[in-house]
Chains A and B, each alone.
Chain A
Amino acid sequence: MRITCPLCGTRDRREFYYYGDAVYADRPDAGAVPEAWNDYLHLRDNPAGETRDLWYHEMGCSSWIEVTRNTVTHAILGTRLVSERNSRRDKFVYQEGDLREIKPQATKPEPKGTEE
């Protein structure tokens, strides 16, 4: 199996560390109900076919990569940097009333840089 790192190019599977389903990049809010955490940490679609998961180019450039691949054929169908992935956190937004007492912590706005 060879995986294409968006930066380094196509590399041997052994250069990469496997983390798990791409859902790991969609961490629920701190105040989410236990069911949301269970969903995030434990439950999996586990498809026989196309899936998306997170790989780390550990022996290479240290980028986190979202890989789209086929779990039956081991074909790699596409890759992108996790930083360029669209978050699907909305998956874990539960109905009002579901939320427990703990309020999500207010996050500081990101300092705005002038990236060229």
Chain B
Amino acid sequence: MRYSGFKVIAEGLGGNKGWKPAWRDPDPKPEYDIIIIGGGGHGLSTAYYLAKNHGLTNIAVLEKGYLGGGNVGRNTTIVRANYFLPGNQEFYSHSLKLWEGLESELNYNVMHSQRGLINLFHSDGQRDAFARRGNAMINQGDDAELLDREGVRRLLPYLDFEQTRFPIYGGLLHRRGGSARHDAVAWGYARGADRRGVDLIQNCEVTGIDIQDGRVTGVQTTRGAIRAKKVGIIVAGRSGQVAAMAGMRLPVESHILQAFVTEGLKPVIDHVVSFGMGHFYISQSDKGGLVFGGDLDFYASYAARGNLPMVEHVMEAGMTLMPMIGKAKVLRSWGGIMDMTPDGSPIIDRTHIDGLFIDCGWNYGGFKAVPASGWCMAHLMATGESHEVARRFRLDRFVTGHLLDEEGTGSQHNLH
């Protein structure tokens, strides 16, 4: 056995010199059947399912930095299937089912913890909206329970129920919602893909996309040219830049989202709590840190760090909701670059260039989508057909008007 309690003790006594890397570090070959640009969660899961579900293994994943250095290792790890619109619903429902079998699938502990997600509401109108959402979730085959104020109080007695601005009326409980260890998901998929023969090539930035007569023929990289007849662009916040290499303009604007973690504390927050009105959500990691976040910084940015007004806003919202966290010390804050679309929903589609596919537009909800996105992108790249649970994630929906505006905030990238 590669990993065991005994091995941990033995290695600990022996200076930890016997551990082997979990995947190979190959040099790029001159040609592959398929190239995946981007070694984040989505790129890695796509490579994994191409190999696992479709038997395609002559694949390279090209990552400009290190695996898991992007958003997949920066998010607040909320995993849920509580969407409302047909199109999103079946996709996230499928994703949650994949999550539920992920650890045995990958034989890797991704610390997926279905501790329950509670979305709070603060008015009669919001209660109605959540009741409707809950019904939609149940119709989809997922779980939802509408809690009244006392129901929320039983689960989350530490909230300030009497705040004057947003008194708590109740919450929508999604018991199968929860969190996971973010980079473990990247590592699990990476190891699984590597074992099936996929080359994971780090420190390899794609700098150009080669196109001949409307067909993709390969890519240029900082480690030389690599040929392939099929290329998938799966680079999250960098989608606009990489698509521009193929002469495309995308319905995507890149924005920063910040997140925060406190020092480790004894278990105090047992669920994932989401306070939409204050743009605040929080959970406690297995190490004890309170992991929380808020809204985008709101302006287009490629800096993986944000500004102070949003830090202040998030802290204020947290203090409004649960004053008990006021004395916890924040250890770190960071940011990630989000690929925001004008309707807040993703794109998994072919492009106008033969053999070139794109998976992007995950806004700030793409962590929970990692399994299903890889599943559906692999299906699309292998068969040429959209998978049935991702068939509305079309690139042309912005021209045809078939938008999937889950939040109903209109065509402004930063409002989703």
Contact = CB atoms under 8 A, between A and B. Distances in A.
- Using C-beta atoms within 8 Å of the partner chain, give the interface range for chain B: 20 to 34
B414 A20 contact: yes
B307 A18 contact: no
A43 B300 contact: no
B398 A42 contact: yes
B300 A51 contact: yes
Interface of B is mostly: mixed
A18 B255 CA distance: 12
A46 B254 CA distance: 7
A44 B251 contact: yes
Interface in B360-416: 398-399, 401, 411-414
A41 interface: yes
Contacts of B250: 43-44, 46
Interface of B: 238, 240-241, 244, 249-254, 298-303, 307, 309, 341-342, 398-399, 401, 411-414
B300 A71 contact: yes
Interface residues of A, number: 27
A45 B252 CA distance: 9
Interface in A1-46: 1, 12-14, 18-21, 34-35, 38-39, 41-46
Nearest to A40: B411
Contact of B302 (A19, A35, A43, A48): A48
Contact of B414 (A14, A18, A38): A18
B253 A20 contact: yes
A13 B411 CA distance: 23
Interface in A69-108: 71-74
Interface of A: 1, 12-14, 18-21, 34-35, 38-39, 41-48, 51, 53, 55, 71-74
A55 B299 CA distance: 9
A20 B413 contact: yes
A43 B254 contact: no
Given A14-B309, A20-B412, A71-B254, A38 B399 contact: yes
Q: Kindly list the 7 A-B residue pairs having the minimum CB-CB distance in the complex, ordered from nearest.
A: A46-B240, A42-B251, A14-B309, A48-B302, A42-B398, A43-B249, A18-B299
